[in-house]
């Protein structure tokens, strides 16, 4: 069994969660507190010998300990630390009781073990078949206030993954307010650790950052109403010295698309606490008697085989237990998006010409981006008015789609349902539907406001309008965009303090209904590119536009950071025109293609502006990618270099049976008389013999992994190489 329960004497209970290669253990002690014992490589036996008890100055002793000054929650590792118990470290839970006091003294009140993976009402979560997972629910209760917390643990044994969530219930006779609510906490009694996070900005997301966890608090998170371009809701806690292929690493990923926080703290005794959950700012969640708050899930994974192994664990989990629907395990269409080809300047003939070009190049789909609806000639008006501008198109949407399909090409469309322009019919009719602070002029972003998706009537209206568009023709793809942060956090209908959480629950409700009504529709998430690239959105949209920055060199670094916890199958990546529209950089079509193949693959340009030679190269790229699509989507991904430090960006895909590999290298530095760059491969069979599909040269797997391959010295900017290796079956 993945979950083992053992009752000990004097009210003590030990819970052990086993995955294939890891163990997570906790214990209810004789005072009723739930203490964390261990999380790491697989072990047996009770780990409570790791707990130590000393009289520590200024560390308070709970009443349950009597006169025992060696027992303090300020020094013991805990599963769910709460404010007001004498633990002066950061807490996972802070409650303001009806009398104004801030204390929640949680004690064990029972537990349940059951087959299958728990679900979360109104929230995305890891899913699994009945035989693939087990659930442990531990109930805690404050005997004075009546506040109850149900801690939920999901164990996916074969995936080496444990999930954590919590449900906070008000069992008191008066109202309470939840002021802080984190979903997961890891306490380490010893060791030195680094915190690896992924910071960025619009058009340069998920930059790798590794810092030592030192005395004091390190906090990352988002107050923007989205998971944000600035910080991603996924981190890695790595022991000192852990690298790509060795060392102990812990992954923590928040399955949520709104405000979040991650806290890392080393305390006075060198113990480390790392927690993740809802952002405390803009959050004060009142609960009346009998009401409950369901917290989003944190995914935990551990390996002692380094960052690369941890990445592959999370890649498999997201592909198989987060992404849902028709396209979760299918090849995605290669698409041509109209944005960088035409921006707002198009009509139906423009889109059909793109479709004709796409068909000639072997591209599967054309997507009509922003500008097809309402009064929308630029980004200053029209959002919310989801009626087709037939005057601009020159025909109905249905007629245009028929012409596109007549070219042998699928059709997709762009929407931004959560937003409204002040210059729109919708805003003039319903100004109260936008999030605004009373008595103040709104904070604008991109000259647009945010619709109050915490309100069911607003969601229903927009849902009906979007569906009316989708019903007008054979629309097979929807790009869902969201182009500003939430600054005016006030709703005319919601209780203040609940708005950001209720907004996200409302958005998830909208997406759940949309995916249920259109199960064959491929939805790509987007928020100015990668501003909402998280597991919560991947539950509804199996791919996300990785960044608005399509420059191949910048994308190497963006996609590198993304790869640490998110699978390549989720990464929206396209070949764009040069000079690049974001950087002005010139890179070859070949290099752009190699980089974009580390993703869903498509094009962001006008094929009519390509030379005949370039068109032939595009045809070859499309054929090549389709041949590799299964390997890229389902293969094991290996980082072979660090593009922030090394002279090249290099990565490879290896089939599950290790018989096929695709090696990709982009040179970032070219110098006169420069040294040769050698790239060591990974994931191959050491005893295997591999043949280069192009040169027919053969290599041993051990040689390729230990000595590497020399990269040819070529002139020009950012030359790229792509090598297919196939295992040779020797008789």
Token digits of residue 369 = 């981006």
261 φ/ψ angles, rounded to the nearest 5 degrees = -150, 150
pLDDT band at 536 (very low <50, low <70, confident <90, very high): very high
**437: Cα within 13 Å, side-chain hemisphere:** 9
Give the pLDDT confidence score for residue 310 in this predicted structure: 98
Region 515-536: mean pLDDT is 98
Nearest alpha-carbon partner for 82 in 102, 60, 109, 53 = 102
The phi and psi torsions of 106 (rounded to 5 degrees) equal -85, 130
Look up residue 103 and give its DSSP letter: -
Number of CB atoms found within 10 A of residue 320's CB: 18
**Cα atoms in the Cβ-side hemisphere of radius 13 Å centred on 8:** 15
3-class DSSP state for residue 31? coil
Contact (Cβ atoms closer than 8 angstroms) between residue 200 and residue 152: no
pLDDT of res. 9: 83
pLDDT at 172: 87
Residue 731 has pLDDT above 80, yes or no: no
Q: What average pLDDT is seen over the chain? A: 97
Contact between 621 and 593 (Cβ < 8 Å): yes
CA 603 to the chain's CA centroid: 23
CA 147 to chain centre: 32
In angstroms, the CA 297 to CA 708 distance is: 41
User: What is the rounded distance in angstroms from the CA atom of residue 582 to the CA atom of residue 389?
Assistant: 29
235 neighbors 249 (Cβ within 8 angstroms): no
Residue whose entry in the numeric block shows the structure tokens 């990618």? 625
- Which residues, including other chains, have CB under 8 Å from residue 365's CB and lie 6 or more apart? 333, 334, 335, 336, 358, 409, 410, 411, 412, 476, 477
pLDDT at 399 over 80: yes
pLDDT beyond 90 at 510: yes
Copy the structure tokens of residue 97.
């009781």
421: Cβ contacts below 8 Å, ≥ 6 apart: 380, 381, 382, 383, 384, 427, 447, 448, 449
Question: Active-site positions?
Answer: 534, 614
| Burial track 4-28 (b if 16+ CB lie within 10 A, e otherwise) | eeeeeeeebbbbbbbbebbbbbbbb
**Angstrom distance (rounded) from CA 119 to CA 646:** 43
Among 340, 338, 403, residue whose Cα is nearest residue 372: 338
3-state secondary structure of 143: coil
Cα(404)–Cα(406) distance, rounded to whole angstroms? 5
pLDDT in tens, 115-131: 999 999 999 999 999 99
Give yes or no for residue 25 having a pLDDT over 90: yes
Confidence bin at 497 (pLDDT 50/70/90): very high
Cα→Cα distances 580→444, 472, 548, 588, 731, Å: 28, 35, 12, 11, 50
Pairing between β-strand 147-156 and β-strand 161-170 as defined by DSSP bridges: antiparallel
- 3-state secondary structure at position 119: coil
Kindly indicate the confidence band of residue 494, based on its pLDDT and cuts at 50, 70 and 90.
Answer: confident
> What is the tally of helices (H) and strands (E) in the chain?
13, 39
By percentage, how much of the chain surpasses pLDDT 90? 97
Close Cβ partners of 361 (under 8 Å, ≥ 6 residues apart): 607, 615, 618, 619, 622
Beta-carbon-side half-sphere exposure of residue 565 (alpha carbons within 13 Å): 29
Residue 391 φ then ψ, to 5° = -65, -40
Distance between CA atoms of residues 383 and 483, nearest Å = 11
Which whole-number Å values give the CA distances from 414 to 152, 196, 388, 466, in the listed order? 38, 34, 12, 11
Contact predicate 170/176, CB 8 Å: yes
Q: Are the beta carbons of 321 and 270 closer than 8 angstroms?
A: no
Region 433-457: what's the mean pLDDT? 96
Between the CA of residue 523 and those of 323, 326, 519, 520, what are the distances in Å?
Answer: 11, 11, 10, 9
Q: What is d(CA 133, CA 581) in angstroms, rounded to the nearest whole number?
A: 47
Per-residue pLDDT tens digits for 348-375: 999 999 999 999 999 999 999 999 999 9
The predicted model gives 693-704 an average pLDDT of: 98
Separation of alpha carbons 382 and 481, rounded Å: 15
Q: How confident is the model at residue 661 (pLDDT cuts 50, 70, 90)?
A: very high
Average pLDDT over residues 75-85: 98
How large is the average pLDDT for residues 34-48? 98
Residue 458 has pLDDT above 80, yes or no: yes
pLDDT of residue 493: 85
In this structure, are residues 426 and 448 in contact, taking their beta carbons and an 8 Å threshold? no
Structure tokens at 39: 């999380």
Q: Please write the tens of the pLDDT for every residue from 591-619.
A: 999 999 999 999 999 999 999 999 999 99
Give the mean model confidence (pLDDT) for residues 427-451. 96
Return phi, psi of residue 579, to 5°. -60, 140
Count, residues in the chain: 731
Place of tokens 């050698």: 678
Mean pLDDT for the stretch of residues 407-431: 98
Looking at residue 10, its pLDDT comes to 84
Alpha carbon of 494 to those of 418, 433, 437: distances in Å? 17, 12, 13
Q: What is the pLDDT of residue 1?
A: 84
Q: What is the pLDDT of residue 688?
A: 98
Provide the pLDDT for residue 492.
Answer: 86
**What's the CA gap between 518 and 470, in Å, rounded?**
9
């Amino acid at each position: 069994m993945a979950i083992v329960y053992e009752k000990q004497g004097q009210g003590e209970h030990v819970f052990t969660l086993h995955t294939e290669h890891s163990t997570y253990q906790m214990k209810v002690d004789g005072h009723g507190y739930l203490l964390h014992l261990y999380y790491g490589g697989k072990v047996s036996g009770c780990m409570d010998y790791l707990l130590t008890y000393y009289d520590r100055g200024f560390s308070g002793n709970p009443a349950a300990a009597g006169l025992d000054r060696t027992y303090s929650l300020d020094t013991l590792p805990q599963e769910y630390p709460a404010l007001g118990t004498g633990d002066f470290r950061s807490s996972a839970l802070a409650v303001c009781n009806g009398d104004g006091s801030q204390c929640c003294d949680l004690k064990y009140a029972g537990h349940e073990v059951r087959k299958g993976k728990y679900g979360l009402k109104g929230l995305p979560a890891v899913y699994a078949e009945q035989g693939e997972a087990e659930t442990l629910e531990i109930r805690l209760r404050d005997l004075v206030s009546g506040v109850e917390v149900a801690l939920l643990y999901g164990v996916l044994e074969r995936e080496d993954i444990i999930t954590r969530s919590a449900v906070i219930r008000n069992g008191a006779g008066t109202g309470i307010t939840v002021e802080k609510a984190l979903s997961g906490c890891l306490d380490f009694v010893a060791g030195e650790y680094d915190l690896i996070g992924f910071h960025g900005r619009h058009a340069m997301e998920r930059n790798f950052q590794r810092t030592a966890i030192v005395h004091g608090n390190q906090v990352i998170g988002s107050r923007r109403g989205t998971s944000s371009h600035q910080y991603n809701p996924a981190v890695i806690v790595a022991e000192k010295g852990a690298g790509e292929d060795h060392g102990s690493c812990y992954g923590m990923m928040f399955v949520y698309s709104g405000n979040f926080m991650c806290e890392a703290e080393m305390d006075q005794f060198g113990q480390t606490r790392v927690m993740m959950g809802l952002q405390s700012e803009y959050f004060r969640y009142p609960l009346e008697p009998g009401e409950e708050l369901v917290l989003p899930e944190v995914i935990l994974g551990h390996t002692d085989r380094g960052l690369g192994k941890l990445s592959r664990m999370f890649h498999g989990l997201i592909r198989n237990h987060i992404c849902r629907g028709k396209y979760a395990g299918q090849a995605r269409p290669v698409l041509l998006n109209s944005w960088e080809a035409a921006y707002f300047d198009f009509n139906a003939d423009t889109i059909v010409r793109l479709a004709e070009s796409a068909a000639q190049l072997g591209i599967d789909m054309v997507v009509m981006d922003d500008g097809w609806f309402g009064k929308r000639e630029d980004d200053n008006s029209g959002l919310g008015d989801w009626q087709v501008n037939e005057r601009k198109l020159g025909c109905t949407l249905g007629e245009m789609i028929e012409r596109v399909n007549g070219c042998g090409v699928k059709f997709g469309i762009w929407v931004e349902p959560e937003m409204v322009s002040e210059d729109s019919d919708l805003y003039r009719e319903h100004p109260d539907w936008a999030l605004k602070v009373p008595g103040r002029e709104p904070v604008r972003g991109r000259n647009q406001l945010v619709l109050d998706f915490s309100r069911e009537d607003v969601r229903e209206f927009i849902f009906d309008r979007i569906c009316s568009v989708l019903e007008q023709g054979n629309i097979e793809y929807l790009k869902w965009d969201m182009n500003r942060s939430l600054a005016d956090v006030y709703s005319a209908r919601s209780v203040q303090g609940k708005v950001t959480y209720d907004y996200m629950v409302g958005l998830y409700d909208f997406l759940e209904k949309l995916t249920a009504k259109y199960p064959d529709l491929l939805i790509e998430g987007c928020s100015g590119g990668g501003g909402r690239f998280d597991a919560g959105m991947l539950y509804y949209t199996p791919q996300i536009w990785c960044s608005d920055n399509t420059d191949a060199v910048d994308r190497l670094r963006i996609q590198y950071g993304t790869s640490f916890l998110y699978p390549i199958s989720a990464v929206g990546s396209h070949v764009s025109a040069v000079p690049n529209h974001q950087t002005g950089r010139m890179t070859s079509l070949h290099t752009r293609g190699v980089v974009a193949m580390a993703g869903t693959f498509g094009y962001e340009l006008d094929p009519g502006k390509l030379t005949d030679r370039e068109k032939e190269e595009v045809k070859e790229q499309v054929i090549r990618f389709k041949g590799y699509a299964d390997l890229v989507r389902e293969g094991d991904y290996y980082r072979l270099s660090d593009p922030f430090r090394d002279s090249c960006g290099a990565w490879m895909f290896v089939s599950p049976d290790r018989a096929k590999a695709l090696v990709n290298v982009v040179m970032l530095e070219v110098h006169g008389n420069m040294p040769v760059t050698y790239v060591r491969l990974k994931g191959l069979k050491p005893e295997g013999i591999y043949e280069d599909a192009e040169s027919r040269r053969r290599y041993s797997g051990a040689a390729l992994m230990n000595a590497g391959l020399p990269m040819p010295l070529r002139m020009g900017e950012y030359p790229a190489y792509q090598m297919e290796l196939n295992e040779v079956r020797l008789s």
